[in-house]
Amino acid sequence: MALTRRHIYVEDGSCSLCGSGDEDVMHLFTGCGFSSGVWSLVGQWCKIDPILAFHFNDLLGMHELIEGGKWAKKVIRGIMMVTCWAIWKSRNDKIFRGSSPRVIDVVAMVKACSFLWLKNRSNFGCIVWKDWALNPLYML
């Protein structure tokens, strides 16, 4: 949609992940059926209430709704950002590489990338993959 607004020809403006709706930031991250599946599984993995967002900014502020201390909020914020990146990467891989993304593969990427991010960029260098894969807030 952003390209169309800039008068750049786009053959098909529908969402590349779900095929319905115009592909814009709002749809891709909050209204797309594929993305909704990703958010649902990420919410279950984090053991938080279902992730329902009506605006992209809702996703960016989701960590503020998490019960727990400062680190719980930071971990969830990081997971939310990694999830947005993984959805965007999957969209680009489908468009530019012809891949067929699956929700479960995107969630696996979120788990792996967020684990590496936290392990290497925080005070939680001793986190363990097998525990992280079950619940990312286990160490708090």
**Hey, what amino acid is at 9?**
Y
Nearby residues of 13 by Cβ (< 8 Å), 6 or more positions away: 1, 4, 22, 23
Q: What's the 3-state SS for 47-76?
A: CCCCCCCCCHHHHHCHHHHCCCCHHHHHHH
Write the pLDDT tens digit of every residue in 40-62. Answer: 999 999 998 888 788 888 888 88
Write the pLDDT tens digit of every residue in 53-102. Answer: 888 888 888 888 888 889 999 999 999 999 999 999 999 999 899 999 99
- Global pTM reads 0.87
- Mapped onto helix, strand or coil, the DSSP state of residue 12 is coil
The span from the CA of 51 to the CA of 56, in Å, is 12
What is the C-alpha separation between 108 and 120, in angstroms, rounded? 18
